[in-house]
């Protein structure tokens, strides 16, 4: 299954012409309103703001189209670069708007905010960002330079990884295909895949280290040296609408509870019957039954739809549209980027989901995860282009919630052996989302404290931070030390990763409310998703669910849910072992 991009455009030339029209509109918008915002009434300002939003949505529509083409065919990088250059020309004529707003007299800003309706929080957030904004001329310079700085290195990273081939048992595999082998029930196959991945990455270590160093350096120059942030991660917290205090509380709580991970892997080692658990054994499926763990995409589709339907008719209908209207690009292919995502596109279209489906159980959860994103993004169309994107800290809530729904659905039809297998897989998914993402953040915090690092220095920090999580439960081999180099978030979105952990613990708390019969949960949850980024997360959670995400003990409550799941898993395992004896 390939996605149908006709909801955006029918061809690259059509999209290019549309983008050129957006440039013209942006120029006319600037001529008409620049240096005149102070003369507008609140009612007139809202109309101008809507026109501004519409132009941005048109730019986003064209960029979405070409990016989705590039994501499935890295040979189209020249078109992506051309569209980015055209978009920059349009943005040059829009950049003045937000700057002019934040420099209006405070009382004028407030009158506009009071009359802004769904745009209120958008304008309030502009006020929060005001101390870090530059002059219009400086912002335009940085915008143009971005084409040859971070975005250029992002493209180099993507093109390099998409071209890599990994030799495995007589054939060359893509990154996604070789990574899927690490989930094989065959230990020799996992070990060979580990060696293959390392050998494939190793010749590129100098290049990948150089890319990462340049991204770090550009991030520091842009945000600390030029904009005046105090710490490298601070702009991410502001974008996520969360305080550093809450992030520190999250990270400290997770770091203090890594014994949960070590305890689980000790149990897994016993189940597998190994004397020692190696890094390539981490994702080894617990295989106690005779059933094959492979699940076709059609089977996955039915499982996910059933899970969604049992929770909410709204979830089910949107997911069904995604399948029927070809929102999804499913299988790995030559030139396609690895991983998975859901792109929100624009309110005029619909989200698009990219997968690299390889018939593994984890791929079914990835499908549910990305469709959760798509449902969130589709519902948030109601609040418009400027408000549809949620902060990363809440953007993951629908996706992880969808995984929990799938987990509950899959559990229903399993015997004891299959239940142990599935529980193990789900716990490992949670560990990957919760604990591993904090390992990534710990790694980022350390590497961003240096101006430039050699490959072996990256390797050393990577090994140290991972070992803190696994303790003595997993032995990390020398091959594992370079695996930081294929993680795309380090390049594309510095300090992105903690948002997964943030959302994971939020979801565990929300899911507990749902299972406990919280009044009108589905209705309130749909309302929460439909609000997109139009309301601050703290306000959303307090008003809809009575949860205060700023309290330091909040995170421990989420951790306690994970502890309960590990204890349930150990109980099921012990019962199974005792019955066999």
pLDDT, tens digit, 9 for 90 and up, residues 327-372: 999 999 999 988 899 999 999 999 999 999 999 888 999 999 999 9
- Placement of tokens 């018939």 in the chain: 359
Q: What digits encode the pLDDT tens for the residues 412-453?
A: 877 888 889 888 988 998 999 899 999 999 999 999 999 999
- CATH 3.40.390 residue ranges of the chain are 291-414
CB contact at 8 A, 289 and 425: no
Distance of CA 375 to the CA centre of its chain: 15
CB contact at 8 A, 533 and 429: no
The chain-wide mean pLDDT, for the chain, equals 93
Give exposure, 161-194, as e/b (b: 16+ Cβ within 10 Å). Answer: bbebebebeeeebbbbbbbbbbbbeeeebbbbbb
Does residue 32 surpass a pLDDT of 70?
A: yes
- Placement of tokens 């942030």 in the chain: 229
Does residue 291 surpass a pLDDT of 80?
A: no
Percent of the chain having pLDDT more than 70? 99
Q: pLDDT band for 574, please (50, 70, 90 cuts).
A: confident
CB contact at 8 A, 249 and 151: no
Encoding tokens for residue 427?
């716990």
Taking the whole predicted model, whether its pTM rises above 0.85 is answered as no
Q: Specify the pLDDT at position 145.
A: 84
DSSP helix, strand, coil percent of the chain (3-state; round to 5) = 70, 5, 25
What average pLDDT does the segment 512-536 reach?
Answer: 92
Q: Specify the pLDDT at position 426.
A: 87
What SS3 state is found at 328? strand
- Placement of tokens 């509870």 in the chain: 257
Q: What is the CA radius of gyration of the chain?
A: 24
- 341 - beta bridge partners? 354
- Placement of tokens 């589905």 in the chain: 522
- Placement of tokens 């708007």 in the chain: 97
CB contact at 8 A, 562 and 260: yes
Nearest alpha-carbon partner for 386 in 108, 124, 25: 124
- d(CA 426, CA 358) in angstroms, rounded, equals 18
- d(CA 304, CA 367) in angstroms, rounded, equals 8
CB contact at 8 A, 68 and 32: no
| Least reliable range by pLDDT among 316-320, 323-327, 538-542, 575-579 | 575-579
Q: What digits encode the pLDDT tens for the residues 537-549?
A: 888 988 999 887 7
- 172 - beta bridge partners? 167
Does residue 21 surpass a pLDDT of 90?
A: yes
What is the widest separation between alpha-carbon atoms in the chain? 83
What average pLDDT does the segment 160-177 reach?
Answer: 94
- d(CA 485, CA 208) in angstroms, rounded, equals 6
Residues in CB range of 484: below 8 A, 6 or more apart: 443, 458, 459, 462, 490
Q: pLDDT band for 127, please (50, 70, 90 cuts).
A: very high
**Total Cβ atoms within 10 A of residue 334:** 12
What average pLDDT does the segment 18-25 reach?
Answer: 97
Q: Specify the pLDDT at position 523.
A: 96
Top-level class of domain 291-414:
alpha beta
CATH number for the domain whose boundaries are 154-289+432-492:
1.10.1370.20
Does residue 136 surpass a pLDDT of 90?
A: no
Per CATH, is 5-148 categorized as 1.20.140.10? Answer: no
Give the length of the chain. Answer: 581
What average pLDDT does the segment 135-139 reach?
Answer: 88
- Placement of tokens 């090994």 in the chain: 463
Does residue 580 surpass a pLDDT of 70?
A: no
Instruction: Identify the DSSP state of 389.
Output: P
Nearest alpha-carbon partner for 482 in 103, 197, 61, 58: 197
- d(CA 78, CA 448) in angstroms, rounded, equals 31
Encoding tokens for residue 494?
């510095």
Phi, psi (deg, nearest 5) at residue 401: -60, -40
Q: Specify the pLDDT at position 293.
A: 65
CB contact at 8 A, 495 and 233: yes
Nearest alpha-carbon partner for 280 in 177, 183, 173: 183
Residues in CB range of 435: below 8 A, 6 or more apart: 254, 258, 260, 261, 469, 501
- d(CA 540, CA 527) in angstroms, rounded, equals 10
What average pLDDT does the segment 31-55 reach?
Answer: 97
- d(CA 304, CA 309) in angstroms, rounded, equals 9
Q: Specify the pLDDT at position 558.
A: 86
Say which residue, 241 or 461, is predicted with more confidence. 461
CB contact at 8 A, 377 and 351: yes
């Amino acid at each position: 299954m390939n996605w149908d991009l006709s909801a955006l455009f029918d061809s690259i030339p059509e999209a290019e012409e549309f983008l050129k029209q957006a440039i013209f509109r942006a120029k006319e918008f600037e001529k008409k309103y620049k240096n005149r915002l102070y003369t507008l009434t609140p009612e007139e300002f809202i109309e101008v703001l809507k026109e501004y939003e519409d132009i941005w949505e048109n730019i986003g529509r064209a960029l979405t189209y070409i990016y989705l083409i590039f994501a499935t065919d890295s040979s189209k990088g020249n078109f992506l670069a051309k569209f980015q250059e055209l978009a920059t020309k349009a943005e040059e004529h829009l950049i003045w708007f937000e700057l002019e707003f934040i420099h209006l007299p405070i009382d004028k800003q407030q009158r506009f905010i009071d009359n802004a309706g769904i745009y209120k929080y958008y304008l309030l957030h502009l006020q929060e960002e005001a101390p870090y904004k530059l002059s219009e001329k400086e912002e335009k310079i940085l915008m143009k330079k971005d084409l040859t700085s971070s975005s250029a290195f992002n493209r180099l990273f993507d093109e390099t990884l998409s071209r890599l081939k990994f030799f495995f048992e007589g054939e060359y595999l893509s990154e996604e295909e070789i990574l899927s082998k690490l989930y094989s029930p065959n230990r020799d196959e996992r070990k060979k895949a580990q060696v293959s991945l390392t050998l494939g990455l190793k010749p590129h270590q100098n290049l990948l280290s150089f890319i990462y160093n340049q991204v770090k350096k550009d991030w520091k120059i842009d945000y600390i040296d030029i904009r005046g942030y105090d710490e490298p991660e601070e702009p991410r917290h502001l974008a996520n609408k969360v305080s550093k205090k809450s992030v520190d509380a999250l990270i400290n709580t997770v770091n203090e509870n890594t014994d949960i991970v070590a305890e689980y892997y000790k149990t897994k080692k016993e189940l597998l019957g190994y004397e020692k658990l190696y890094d390539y054994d981490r994702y080894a499926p617990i295989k106690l039954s005779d059933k094959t763990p492979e699940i076709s995409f059609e089977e996955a589709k039915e499982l996910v739809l059933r899970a969604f339907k049992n929770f909410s008719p709204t979830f089910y209908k949107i997911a069904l549209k995604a399948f029927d209207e070809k929102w999804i690009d499913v299988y790995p292919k030559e030139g396609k980027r690895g991983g998975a995502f859901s792109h929100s596109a624009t309110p005029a279209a619909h989200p698009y989901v990219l997968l690299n489906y390889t018939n593994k159980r984890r791929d079914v959860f990835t499908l549910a995860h990305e469709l959760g994103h798509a449902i969130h993004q589709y519902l948030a169309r109601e609040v418009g282009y400027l408000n549809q994107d949620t902060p990363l800290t809440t953007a993951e809530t629908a996706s992880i919630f969808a995984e929990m729904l799938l987990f509950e659905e899959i559990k229903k039809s399993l015997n004891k052996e299959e239940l142990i297998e599935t529980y193990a897989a789900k716990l490992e998914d949670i560990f990957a989302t919760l604990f591993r993402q904090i390992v990534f953040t710990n790694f980022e915090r350390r590497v961003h404290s240096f101006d430039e690092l050699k490959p072996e220095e990256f390797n050393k920090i990577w090994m140290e931070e991972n070992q803190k999580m696994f303790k003595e439960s997993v032995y990390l081999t020398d091959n594992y030390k370079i695996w930081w180099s294929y993680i795309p978030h380090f390049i594309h979105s510095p300090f992105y990763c903690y948002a997964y952990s943030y959302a994971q613990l939020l979801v565990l708390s929300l899911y507990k409310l749902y299972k406990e019969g919280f009044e009108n949960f589905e209705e309130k949850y749909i309302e929460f998703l439909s609000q997109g980024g139009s309301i601050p997360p703290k306000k959303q959670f307090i008003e809809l669910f009575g949860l205060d995400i700023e309290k330091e003990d909040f995170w421990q409550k989420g951790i306690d849910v994970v502890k309960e799941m590990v204890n349930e898993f150990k109980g099921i395992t012990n019962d199974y072992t005792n019955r066999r004896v």
